[in-house]
Amino acid sequence: MKLYYKPGASSLAPHIALHAAGLNFELEKVDTATKITETGADYLGVTAKGYVPALKLASGDILTEAPAILQYIADQNPSSKLAGEAGTLERTRVQEHLNFVSSELHKAYAPFFGKTPLSADERAKIEEGVAKRLSLYETHLSDGRKFLTGDRFTVADAYFFVVVNWSGFVEFDLKKWPNIVAYMERTAKLPAIQEAMKAEGLLN
């Protein structure tokens, strides 16, 4: 398998999952502005969507969309228990979080990375959208659970961690959400996260 990625982007979530699942994989960095990969390939020839992540399978098939890629990776090593078994409530909870992170949280953060500089009003509007969604997770984590679906790390955590970690890049302070701050601190220590972030040059 080969993961097409951009350092720190949502492609970091499948990168973390590949480590957590203990799978063999290659990486190819993409310049999403020029759509050229680090080997000089035309990324639009890999996926016409032009964004990361994309996962190339041994068969040559290309998978896109983070929630689908993450579940595919989890299913390559069911013993890693990264998504629960298909058909169980556990799997459905993972899908529930993956969908929320993808369609609500990721999309709420995305405008931070759009037009620059943002006016104060534009930034306030984006922050309001992110805050509303983080508050839901602040409450969700208030029962003392370690991870989103309970005490086990899943691919939903990989995605949530990556998106909330963007807060640091855009100087959005998380102090209003202490349960999320604690979650981010403990999750950041997981070996799969450390390894993937180091490989992307995000940690020393």
Ligand X SMILES: N[C@@H](CCC(=O)N[C@@H](CS)C(=O)NCC(=O)O)C(=O)O
By the criterion CB under 6 A, which residues form the site for ligand X? 9-10, 32, 50-53, 65-66, 102
Residue number closest to ligand X, CB atom? 51
Nearer to ligand X, 6 or 146 (CB): 6
- What is the closest distance, in whole angstroms, from the C-beta atom of residue 151 to ligand X in the complex? 26
Nearer to ligand X, 20 or 63 (CB): 63
- What is the closest distance, in whole angstroms, from the C-beta atom of residue 79 to ligand X in the complex? 26
Euclidean distance between CA atoms 3 and 69, whole angstroms: 10
Nearer to ligand X, 35 or 93 (CB): 35
Region of 6 on the Ramachandran plot (φ > 0 left; ψ -120 to 50 alpha; else beta): beta
In single-letter form, the type of residue at position 164 comes to V
To 10 degrees, what angle do helices 191-199 and 12-20 make?
A: 130
- What is the closest distance, in whole angstroms, from the C-beta atom of residue 14 to ligand X in the complex? 9
Region of 203 on the Ramachandran plot (φ > 0 left; ψ -120 to 50 alpha; else beta): beta
Nearer to ligand X, 9 or 197 (CB): 9
Euclidean distance between CA atoms 201 and 169, whole angstroms: 14
- What is the closest distance, in whole angstroms, from the C-beta atom of residue 56 to ligand X in the complex? 15
